[in-house]
Amino acid sequence: MHNMPQPHDHQHCIDDAMARARELCLRRQVKFTRIREQVLACVWANHQPVGAYTILEEIAKESDRRPAPPTVYRALDFLLDNGLVHRIASLNAFVGCKDPSHHHQGHFLICRQCRNVIELDADIINSAISTAATQYGFVVETPCVEVVGCCAGCRELSDNE
Amino acid sequence: MHNMPQPHDHQHCIDDAMARARELCLRRQVKFTRIREQVLACVWANHQPVGAYTILEEIAKESDRRPAPPTVYRALDFLLDNGLVHRIASLNAFVGCKDPSHHHQGHFLICRQCRNVIELDADIINSAISTAATQYGFVVETPCVEVVGCCAGCRELSDNE
DNA sequence: AATAAAATGTTATAATATTGCATTAGCGTG
DNA sequence: CACGCTAATGCAATATTATAACATTTTATT
Ligand SMILES: [Zn+2]
Ligand SMILES: [Zn+2]
Ligand SMILES: [Zn+2]
Ligand SMILES: [Zn+2]
């Protein structure tokens, strides 16, 4: 298995994410219900974007009851609203957000090969977009940047062939 | 009606686009068939992204025969392959490309209000993305930049309220 | 004309997402 | 505790976007 962005203790990613989510929901006085927790756990199973219906299947497997699509989508909406996950428009899929405490859109590097996603929020990209947009009198509200390419790990593997 | 990016002679946009397409297909020795022409004309009806099924409806209206979805999607695939249209992933919709002669991905400014799309291909954005990606050892292949915001025209209108 | 390749037609279905309404769970008030 | 309110979930149906599989037609080549 080499589907991690860089080798790392992913259980730590999961634990962190779930802890942050619990804390954040407490602080905001919103409810981190069972289904929301399950969906978030699914999304954090790895660093690859996961589709709504895959989440549905996963939950069906692990809990012997199959939630209907609206249930999953509502949980996803909640998580999106609270910045706990991001939606990757070009993939119709969702990834966990590594920093849900402050609202941001994020930029995503998607490896074509291992499908892992690296989330950034690079000022340099936001500035460049604003600068270019300004030349057209356009005011940026929500930039969506989803970059397909090849990650460090996968290029290393290719090189060693 | 104020759904044009800036006031302009849009018939000129259409005529230009269709002429470019014809010429380009001739040069590349690929066929600019009736259905492909109809679909491209639909896409160029205005500067707003248009969905595949909307295109289908439009063609059904104007020609009394309703193409099936695969017909429209195949025409769109052809147009995409030849750079004559772009797909806006975040909207599941398509816009005409203003410069199909050289291959490029393009950046899109989408007005939240009038839905018009401005296409750019700004070096400054591509550079910023590459720079940011490089810091993660990530090599960019296909950047996808779709920015929602507010265009000059719509802000003017808002200001005058 | 015979053949092959490309394009289109046709039917069915997959994959993603939402609407509308019923039911349940949680919570504060009296 | 009963009541009423709201948020959350369950559930059935359906909308929207996209593709698969195979038949037929058109076009180009020999
Ligand atoms: Zn991890
Ligand atoms: Zn990779
Ligand atoms: Zn125009
Ligand atoms: Zn506008």
Cα B153 to averaged position of ligand 4 atoms, centre (Å)? 6
| Closest-CA residue to B110 (of B90, B85, B96, B82) | B90
A70 CA: nearest nucleotide by C1': C18
Residue B1 pLDDT exceeds 50: no
Return the pLDDT at A5.
Answer: 63
Tell me which residues have their CB below 7 A from strand D. Answer: A 30-31, 33-36, 65, 67-71, 74-75, 78; B 51-54, 68-70, 73, 92-93
Residue B92 pLDDT exceeds 90: yes
What's the pLDDT tens digit per position in A54-79? 999 999 999 888 999 999 999 999 99
- The answer to whether residue B129 neighbours chain A at the CB level (below 8 Å) is yes
Q: How confident is the model at residue A161 (pLDDT cuts 50, 70, 90)?
A: low
In eight-state DSSP terms, residue B50 is B
What number is the average pLDDT over the span B85-91? 98
HSE at residue A127, side-chain half, CA atoms within 13 A, is 7
Return the pLDDT at B44.
Answer: 98
Residue A40 pLDDT exceeds 90: yes
Return the pLDDT at A52.
Answer: 98
Return the pLDDT at B63.
Answer: 86
B51 CA: nearest nucleotide by C1': D17
Taking only residues 50 to 109 of chain A, the set having a beta carbon closer than 8 angstroms to any beta carbon of chain B reads 89-90, 107, 109
Residue B3 pLDDT exceeds 90: no
Average predicted confidence (pLDDT) for chain B: 94
Cα separation of A11 and A23, whole Å? Answer: 18
Return the pLDDT at B4.
Answer: 58
Average predicted confidence (pLDDT) for chain A: 94
CB contact under 8 A, B145 and A145: yes
What's the pLDDT tens digit per position in A46-57? 999 999 999 999
d(CA A72, C1' C25) / Å: 18
Residues B5, B109: contact at Cβ < 8 Å? no
What's the pLDDT tens digit per position in A15-34? 999 999 999 999 999 999 99
What's the pLDDT tens digit per position in A90-142? 999 999 999 999 989 999 999 999 999 999 999 999 999 999 999 999 999 99
What number is the average pLDDT over the span B36-65? 96
User: What is the CATH number that goes with domain A10-159?
Assistant: 1.10.10.10
| Closest-CA residue to A146 (of B138, B5, B82) | B138
Return the pLDDT at B161.
Answer: 66
What's the pLDDT tens digit per position in B41-51? 999 999 999 99
Q: How confident is the model at residue B156 (pLDDT cuts 50, 70, 90)?
A: confident
Taking only residues 25 to 44 of chain A, the set having a beta carbon closer than 8 angstroms to any beta carbon of chain B reads none
What number is the average pLDDT over the span B53-63? 95
